[in-house]
């Protein structure tokens, strides 16, 4: 009976450790993606995104990986500063769901503006690395 208890306890500890480690890895990937967007770093954006990326804007526009990176690097989508708040990370197997509030200063096409969006990121573990598979933004609506 004691062996069964300790085996179960070890399994629980291992599972919790895995979940914490994976959540930390996903949070790091989000931070790296945010920095790459501000820096317009094509190499980092390519490394952090899946080949089948579906990047949805709050306007309803959907971009693939090539278009997403091209617009960031060209300045057509220009993030000057990004602040993320209220982030939650939920992991299910090889998939991570990340939600946060995004406040950003942008200069798309050279026009300065400030945006506030609710964002859902879907990350997938591919070959041991977390890759952004999908992103959808909505115009932020304050909770009631």
What domains lie within the chain, and their CATH numbers?
Answer: 2-139 (3.10.450.50)
Residue 141 confidence (pLDDT) above 80: no
pLDDT tier for residue 130 given thresholds of 50, 70 and 90 = very high
Mean per-residue pLDDT of the chain: 90
d(CA 50, CA 83): 23
How large a percentage of the chain has pLDDT more than 90? 81
What integer is the mean pLDDT of 124-139?
Answer: 97
pTM assigned to the model: 0.84
């Amino acid at each position: 009976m004691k062996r069964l208890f300790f085996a179960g306890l070890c399994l629980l500890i291992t599972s919790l450790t895995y979940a914490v480690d994976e959540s930390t890895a996903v949070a790091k990937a989000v931070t790296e993606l945010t920095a790459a967007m501000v820096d317009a770093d094509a190499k980092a954006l390519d490394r952090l995104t899946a080949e089948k990326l579906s990047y949805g804007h709050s306007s309803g526009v959907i971009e693939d990986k090539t278009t997403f990176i091209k617009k960031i690097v060209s300045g057509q989508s220009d993030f000057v500063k990004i602040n993320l708040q209220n982030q939650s990370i939920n992991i299910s197997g090889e998939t991570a769901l990340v939600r946060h509030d995004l406040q950003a200063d942008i200069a798309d096409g050279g026009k300065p503006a400030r945006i506030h969006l609710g964002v859902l990121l879907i990350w997938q573990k591919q070959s041991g690395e977390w890759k952004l598979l999908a992103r959808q933004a909505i115009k932020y609506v304050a909770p009631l």
